[in-house]
């Protein structure tokens, strides 16, 4: 169920309030354009600046509007274990298919602290949990050994790996086997990630290039020469777009790209700001190179 091109959905704002109409339009845009799964209220969805009610609302809307057409992996992480439990149990109640739970940021727990954090959430919910390991934002790095311990729990099923270390794919595969789901959080390394044993991505670029990302993912996991050549061709087209999405802090660039495609406005919440004019030009050129505009 959790494979292919899963989109890390942006959260559209208008006058600093949740723009529900644009959000619903985005959900249906992905249903119609080949996206494999929807990931609301993650980092790309600006979860750190969503109120608790807003966080729950974007998950509720996603579940309702997708109406079973696509799996929902709800972002329910927090550096407060109690809050993560609250968000996860709510997502489960509303019908989300899984929870994406980030390693606790700022607190800097030990590996034992990480284990106990996820175990506490695991023990209070009944849906699959995907660990989100992103040391660049959270400061801490969950080790493969800690993930292996967590994999023994009933709900821990996989990882969104945003370490950028492709060797981790092999190490995780060796330790936990093929059943442990490995999704990359780095669009730019998705080709090699899948070749080493990954099964997909949770993608920023998919917000604005769902068909390309979906086709790329489809071919990247087929082990024949024709499919591999096609995945390489699509990867080459997508690389400038991937790069442009991170010239400034995510999700400001992807929101500007979404504005160019008339999907939603490019409003972000402080402390994030809209991209500079120089970055706008980089994004425009990247979208043009991929024939998205």
Q: Are 8 and 39 in contact (CB under 8 A)?
A: yes
Residue 37: enclosing H or E segment and its boundaries?
strand 37-39
CATH (residue range 4-224) = 3.20.20.70
**Over residues 248-270, mean pLDDT:** 98
Q: How many CA atoms lie within 13 A of 41 on its CB side?
A: 32
Per-residue confidence at 259, pLDDT binned at 50, 70, 90? very high
Residue 21: enclosing H or E segment and its boundaries?
helix 20-32
Per-residue confidence at 1, pLDDT binned at 50, 70, 90? confident
Q: Catalytic one among 3, 115, 118, 160?
A: 160
- The residues facing 4 across adjacent strands are 200
Task: For 210, list phi and psi in degrees, rounded to 5.
Answer: -65, -40
Percent of the chain with pLDDT over 70: 100
- Per residue, the 3-state secondary structure of 77-143, as one string, reads CCCCHHHHHHHHHHHHHHCCCEEEEECCCCCCCCHHHHHHHHHHHHHHCCCCEEEEECHHHHCCCCC
pLDDT of residue 22: 98
Q: Is 218 known to be catalytic?
A: no
178-225 pLDDT, tens digit each: 999 999 999 999 999 999 999 999 999 999 999 999 999 999 999 999
- The residues facing 158 across adjacent strands are 130, 181
Q: How many CB atoms are closer than 10 A to CB 199?
A: 19
Domain segments of the chain as ranges: 4-224
Residue 97, CA distances (Å) to 126, 154, 291 in order: 10, 15, 33
Judged against a pLDDT cut of 90, whether residue 138 lies above it is answered with yes
Q: Are 206 and 26 in contact (CB under 8 A)?
A: no
Judged against a pLDDT cut of 90, whether residue 258 lies above it is answered with yes
Single out the residue of 167, 158, 160, 226 nearest to residue 187, CA to CA: 160
Q: Catalytic one among 115, 132, 256, 259?
A: 132
User: For residue 264, with 0-12 CB atoms within 10 Å meaning exposed, 13-18 middle and 19 or more buried, which class applies?
Assistant: buried
Q: Are 197 and 167 in contact (CB under 8 A)?
A: no
pLDDT of residue 232: 98
Bridge-based pairing state of the strands 156-161 and 129-133:
parallel
Q: What is the rounded distance in angstroms from the CA atom of residue 202 to the CA atom of residue 192? A: 15
End-to-end CA distance of the chain: 31
pLDDT of residue 276: 98
Q: Are 254 and 44 in contact (CB under 8 A)?
A: yes
30-40 pLDDT, tens digit each: 999 999 999 99
Write the Ramachandran bin of 268: left for phi over 0, alpha for psi from -120 to 50, otherwise beta.
Answer: beta
Q: Are 8 and 203 in contact (CB under 8 A)?
A: yes
229-254 pLDDT, tens digit each: 999 999 999 999 999 999 999 999 99
Single out the residue of 200, 204, 197, 202 nearest to residue 216, CA to CA: 200
**Over residues 271-285, mean pLDDT:** 98
Q: How many CB atoms are closer than 10 A to CB 159?
A: 28
Q: Is 160 known to be catalytic?
A: yes
Pair of tokens at residue 176: 């936990």
32-89 pLDDT, tens digit each: 999 999 999 999 999 999 999 999 999 999 999 999 999 999 999 999 999 999 999 9
Per-residue confidence at 135, pLDDT binned at 50, 70, 90? very high
pTM value is 0.97
Judged against a pLDDT cut of 90, whether residue 268 lies above it is answered with yes
């Amino acid at each position: 169920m959790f494979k292919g091109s899963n989109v890390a959905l942006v959260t559209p704002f208008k006058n600093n309030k949740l723009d529900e109409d644009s959000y619903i339009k985005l959900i249906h845009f992905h249903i119609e354009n080949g996206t494999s799964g929807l990931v609301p209220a993650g980092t790309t969805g600006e979860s750190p600046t969503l109120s608790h009610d807003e966080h729950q609302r974007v998950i509720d809307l996603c579940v309702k509007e997708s109406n079973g057409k696509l799996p929902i992996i709800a972002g329910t992480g927090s550096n407060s274990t109690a809050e993560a439990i609250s968000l996860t149990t709510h997502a489960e109640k509303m019908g989300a298919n899984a929870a994406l739970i980030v390693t606790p940021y700022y607190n800097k727990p030990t590996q034992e602290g990480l284990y106990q954090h996820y175990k506490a959430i695991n023990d209070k919910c009944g849906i699959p949990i995907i660990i989100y390991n992103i040391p660049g934002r959270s400061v801490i790095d969950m080790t493969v050994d800690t993930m292996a311990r967590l994999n023994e729990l009933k709900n821990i099923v996989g990882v969104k790996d945003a370490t950028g270390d492709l060797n981790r794919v092999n190490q995780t595969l060796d330790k936990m086997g093929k059943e442990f789901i490995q999704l990359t959080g780095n669009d730019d390394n998705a080709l090699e990630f899948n070749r080493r044993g990954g099964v997909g991505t949770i993608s920023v670029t998919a917000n604005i290039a769902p068909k390309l990302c979906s086709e790329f993912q489809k071919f990247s996991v087929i082990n024949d020469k024709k499919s591999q050549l096609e995945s390489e061709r699509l990867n080459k087209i997508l690389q400038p777009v991937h790069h442009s999405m991170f010239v400034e802090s995510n999700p400001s660039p992807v929101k500007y790209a979404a504005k160019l495609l008339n999907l939603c406005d490019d409003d972000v919440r402080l402390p994030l700001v809209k991209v500079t004019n120089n970055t706008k030009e980089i994004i425009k050129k990247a979208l043009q190179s991929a024939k998205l505009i």
